[in-house]
Structure 1
């Protein structure tokens, strides 16, 4: 079962802190507070992941709104799975993940994003990124 990684909770908290800053520097507004409660439980439990069902309605809604602000797909239009590779050299997803992506829910998609980011072997994280950086100079 896919889980939400603590780095996604952190990113969602930062999204909401920027979007709805604390009015007094201390008080957390509702979306940030809901996510912070999940984050605090994770830290207390030494957990790196949480099941979406365990987050509660307010935290899930806040996380989903953050999720809507992120790129939908890791695809960089270099799909080697269409050439028979089991793992795409461009984005790092498996053939099955590429095929099922349109029907995956947000938690499944973020779980995949987390895996390919940690692996960091796809061209989107190295060769493609290096080429993009070279073009800026």
Structure 2
């Protein structure tokens, strides 16, 4: 089933939007909401890890009211 969501694609695309600035209060990138650890691990990660990161991003978007 295709939903059009990036986390359902293979290979899983990066959530990076080229707005790279870490927020000191949240510890998340202000562009993609990943932690520095998630950003560093991304390039060597498998699709399972990347989908798990996307799932966390969706929760962060809701919690922070991220548009």
Query: TM-score surpassing 0.5?
Result: yes
User: Is contact 1:75-1:91 (8 Å) kept?
Assistant: yes
> Which of structures 1 and 2 has the larger relative contact order (alpha carbons within 8 angstroms, sep 6+)?
2
Paired residues in the alignment total 58
- Larger radius of gyration between Structure 1 and Structure 2: 1
The gaps in structure 2 that reach 5 residues or longer are 3-7
* 1:117 positional shift: 1.0
* 1:67 positional shift: 3.2
3-state SS of paired residue (1:114):
helix
* 1:95 positional shift: 0.5
Identify which of 33, 40, 50 aligns with 1:99: 40
The gaps in structure 1 that reach 5 residues or longer are 1-13, 16-65, 127-137
Matched, 1:109 2:50: yes
User: Is contact 1:78-1:90 (8 Å) kept?
Assistant: yes
Counterpart-to-counterpart distance in 2, 1:95 and 1:108: 15
* 1:69 positional shift: 6.1
* 1:105 positional shift: 0.7
Identify the structure with the greater helix proportion. Answer: 1
3-state SS of paired residue (1:80):
coil
